[in-house]
Structure 1
């Protein structure tokens, strides 16, 4: 997860003869850290934050130093054209290559997500697309996207446009009024915005770190701080000994950041100050020479001189393309091989191929379309040996056509998926004879040879009615949402309470309620069971979920006050550390509260979670890739213990009535992906609504035994 849009870091002019070669080198070091930590360690190195700070410094600092000078021409259109030439060509090439690899390597169940993210990447809102995924429980288990890394480029692009509007708007409105104080006033404003963004980042990080990670406002301070340093750096003076110490310390902090700080969990909160602050200090370590370009390179501290050497500068020159290529190559390789991590040799090959593609992209795509004349080339010679020329019509046309084709293809596939969803509406009317589903296991119903339903493309949207009715609180919500299903006029009530694993039983409960005269009232929150756990985590990715604790504090008093005839909820969860399932200790307090209130509990054993190598596994993806009902399933012993753990505590809680539908999902020794011509899961651990309908009779039998209602 990192970024670098190729900026034009001109600190001086050809006449002055000054250019910050060391910052090109720092850019090269940062991209190397990003790639190495992604490929071999599965961690965030802090390189993304180095890039954001450098981008703010190069782009924002240049505007603040030059555009606001007396007599400067205000030409935002020129800046936008420069940004388009700088950012889009290499991006389009990599997106087009990724689209081809997606079709060749990824199952078609992943194509819609890629189409959405392709459009988001081209439109520079990929960070918000990923933030939505992080907050969407039904998408939380999706495979890592080959375009996930482009989120940070979207943050940069949004910053560039917003900064242009702010700077040019401020200059246009207040140049005459403020005169020579114009730049000072804007710096004061930007300083206030930087502080506000940093404060917001801390708050957002504490509330929902996954959302904050991709949030443009939470990341804005990193770019703004770089821009402010770019504006103020000509006025900074440091003694040589102090600059040398600062250069060594800041470079050491950048190099070691990924090893000591888990950026995936800690950024963009206060710990992001480490890479960003280190970058700022490294920039300032050569501030004297920026103020006086006539000083020799020998006046630079040793770390700066080291990073100004040709190998580092060359790496920095192609950093943008290297960043674009390394992540999708890694993800596609892992998807193709089924591995979860690259070993040393594989990682080295991925880095090598990424480097070659980055060099070719820089030489034959980026530079020809980026620099129209040699005069536009930064005043530095890098060892790419590119002969500058005007962009050719052919090259520009090819890139444009690739972008148009990618956009058209993405929209076409999305339209195809819309048709698939429309076809999925017929699932509720499938013949029980042709599609017996769970009845094939429970009643040994005959299974004719027919195509599976829902199809792999229909499965994603075969979800409970309560989700479509917005009757389940999302991740950020703590209010209790009540909706009524079944026989709404009935006097008998079952409260359906807990997370989405309680929710997906609503389909069968609604049918049973209509048949047997009871209503079902929902008390649901995504990913949040009834629990007394003080620090709950989101099941599956283990990120902190404080809103679950707050929601439980709200829902339990309401449940007790409403006093339903029964509370239907899940009573077990899968082990995280070994095969099988368990009844967590933090459920006991819930059983005690309900029992003390005299409310009986319909305790449903949790759904078997399909996992491979400790990661969520989507049977629909497996089936789309050519697998079958057996190869896309899992051993029963991996997901279910020999007996229902709930049975161990029944003597302590006499009002608890255990329900166990495991035999309606799994065979004696194996849990298949498809039973009775019906796909069981719409992801890795939620039943399709179609399969749930086929379990209605067996669920009704068990509830009748537990309640005596029919």
Structure 2
């Protein structure tokens, strides 16, 4: 009887995780940015004022952050490692004469909630073309211990499809992780050339190209850290410049953009406090990351008005 009782208690404890301690309420991030005259300035204030405690109005709740996925995942539009083509994935106003394309890997897909919000507000047609771990640069990388040739094929097919669409804007982004299959002595030059090739190929359609730099990375698993340190969140924060996964890659993107006329959008001040360089795991009432490198869906969606400042002029001038 005692053994049976102990087993029931153990199973109950496993099924009902311990309550996470929280602090008081925080401003609602999405509302704060949507209602601000200057969303970027308001975001900077909220980043600088990030609390050391999980707020009691966190949205979504911490256990739901990791599992929340945008429509590109739910619809099968972010394709896997072996795929060489995307299914038709069109969002926003399908009949619009203004087409915006999202192109890259999962670090491009993380921006889909913000771009979908903009497409809905502005009446754009949004086409999403993203593939797991596939870089924007025209460069073969290693994936799962072998050359990622499926990525190269996918990239060529995607660029051809984009050029056939004649979009107003192509937003490109990819993770700073991943190594060339054949590393060159001058890594900066190798990556710069790879990005230049893709940016030029995309530019043949007449589209503006906006290169969205990779976001700063968190320190370990930020969601697990927040659960373990709910009243001491500063222990989970990362810092610049260490939060930049590969500064060489970002320099390569800037160099390629300068050579091809692409625009560069740097999200560092959207994730890290400018003055201190601290990159918190929670801003206002929203968790910043869902895992070791990707923004949470809720945080990306809240950044819609901030991203708008960078993209509206590019779409409008097409």
**TM above 0.5:** yes
Q: 2:235 aligns with which of 606, 621, 631?
A: 631
Relative contact order higher in (CA < 8 Å, ≥ 6 apart)? 2
- Per the TM alignment, residue 642 of structure 1 is displaced from its structure 2 partner at its CA by 11
SS at match of 1:651: helix
Q: Which residue of 1 aligns with 2:207?
A: 599
Q: Which residue of 1 aligns with 2:183?
A: none
SS at match of 1:476: coil
From the two aligned structures, give the one with the greater helix fraction: 1
Q: Which residue of 1 aligns with 2:308?
A: 700
Matched, 1:651 2:258: yes
Deviations 1:453-474, CA, capped at 9 Å, x for gaps: 3333121122222111221112
Q: 1:564 aligns with which of 167, 174, 180?
A: 167
Matches of 1:535 and 1:661 in 2, distance apart?
Answer: 24
Aligned-residue CA RMSD in angstroms? Answer: 3.8
Matches of 1:447 and 1:431 in 2, distance apart?
Answer: 15
1:115-194 alignment runs, 5 A limit: none
Deviations 1:495-541, CA, capped at 9 Å, x for gaps: 11111111111111111112112111111112223332234426xxx
Matches of 2:283 and 2:66 in 1, distance apart?
Answer: 18
- Per the TM alignment, residue 619 of structure 1 is displaced from its structure 2 partner at its CA by 0.7
Larger-gyration structure (1/2): 1
Q: Which residue of 1 aligns with 2:119?
A: 513
Matched, 1:500 2:113: no
1:385-404 alignment runs, 5 A limit: none
Matches of 1:661 and 1:467 in 2, distance apart?
Answer: 22
Q: Which residue of 2 aligns with 1:690?
A: 298
Matches of 1:411 and 1:518 in 2, distance apart?
Answer: 47
Q: Which residue of 1 aligns with 2:70?
A: 464
Conserved in 2, the CA contact under 8 Å of 1:441 and 1:664?
Answer: no
Q: 1:537 aligns with which of 140, 143, 149?
A: 143
1:2-151 alignment runs, 5 A limit: none
1:19-418 alignment runs, 5 A limit: 412=15
SS at match of 1:638: coil
- Per the TM alignment, residue 410 of structure 1 is displaced from its structure 2 partner at its CA by 9.7
Matches of 1:575 and 1:670 in 2, distance apart?
Answer: 25
Q: 1:442 aligns with which of 35, 39, 43?
A: 43
Deviations 1:44-72, CA, capped at 9 Å, x for gaps: xxxxxxxxxxxxxxxxxxxxxxxxxxxxx
Conserved in 1, the CA contact under 8 Å of 2:106 and 2:130?
Answer: yes
- Per the TM alignment, residue 696 of structure 1 is displaced from its structure 2 partner at its CA by 0.9
Q: 1:677 aligns with which of 279, 282, 285?
A: 285
Matches of 1:704 and 1:442 in 2, distance apart?
Answer: 18
Q: Which residue of 1 aligns with 2:21?
A: none
SS at match of 2:31: coil
TM-score by length of 1: 0.36
Matches of 1:629 and 1:441 in 2, distance apart?
Answer: 21
Matches of 1:537 and 1:680 in 2, distance apart?
Answer: 27
Tell me, which stretches of 5 or more residues in structure 2 are unaligned? 18-27, 180-187
Q: 2:225 aligns with which of 622, 628, 642?
A: 622
Q: Taking structure 1 as reference, are residues 649 and 531 closer, same or farther at Cα in structure 2, changes over 3 Å only?
A: closer
Conserved in 1, the CA contact under 8 Å of 2:143 and 2:178?
Answer: no
Q: Taking structure 1 as reference, are residues 476 and 671 closer, same or farther at Cα in structure 2, changes over 3 Å only?
A: same
TM-score by length of 2: 0.75
SS at match of 2:155: helix
Conserved in 1, the CA contact under 8 Å of 2:208 and 2:314?
Answer: no
Q: Taking structure 1 as reference, are residues 434 and 704 closer, same or farther at Cα in structure 2, changes over 3 Å only?
A: closer
SS at match of 2:143: coil
Q: Which residue of 2 aligns with 1:477?
A: 83
Q: Which residue of 1 aligns with 2:270?
A: 664
